[in-house]
Amino acid sequence: MLFQRIDTVFVLVPHLETAKGWYTKVLELPVLFEDVTNNRIVLKLGETPLTLWKTDTTYESNRPPHFNFFSEDIETAHSHLRNKGVTVEAIETYDSMSSFVFYDPFGNKLEVCSF
């Protein structure tokens, strides 16, 4: 199988600490870890974590959430999609995680990660 799971769902927020307070108190989601350097807090939500990501970008309410597919072999996943004619961006590596963006036929941005 090319993809093993959805890795995370991102929720873009303008204020990380306010969002953390709301999601942990109101929704009672425990914090898995905080990545202060990259402005992210990951919350436990079943098998698929919820990642709060601070951004200064204006949030568009009609924009779908950003999520990652997880692949144990990101190079194979990248080649497979490219060979199928899918528009893919270059693989980028951040510390111990690699990822790349690709697009569905409707222009929806999707992402694959590996770590």
Domains of the chain: 5-114 (3.10.180.10)
Cα–Cα distance for residue pair 33/22, rounded to 1 Å: 16
Instruction: Let me know if 110 is exposed, middle or buried by CB neighbors in 10 A (0-12, 13-18, 19+).
Output: middle
Calpha distance 64→4 (Å, rounded): 21
* pTM of the predicted structure, to 2 decimals: 0.68
Long-range interactions of 38-45: CB distance < 8 A, separation 24+: 38/94, 40/16, 41/16, 42/8, 45/9
- Taking only the tens place, the pLDDT of each residue in 36-81 is 899 999 999 889 999 999 988 765 666 666 788 899 999 999 999 9
pLDDT tens digit sequence for 77-95: 999 999 999 999 999 998 8
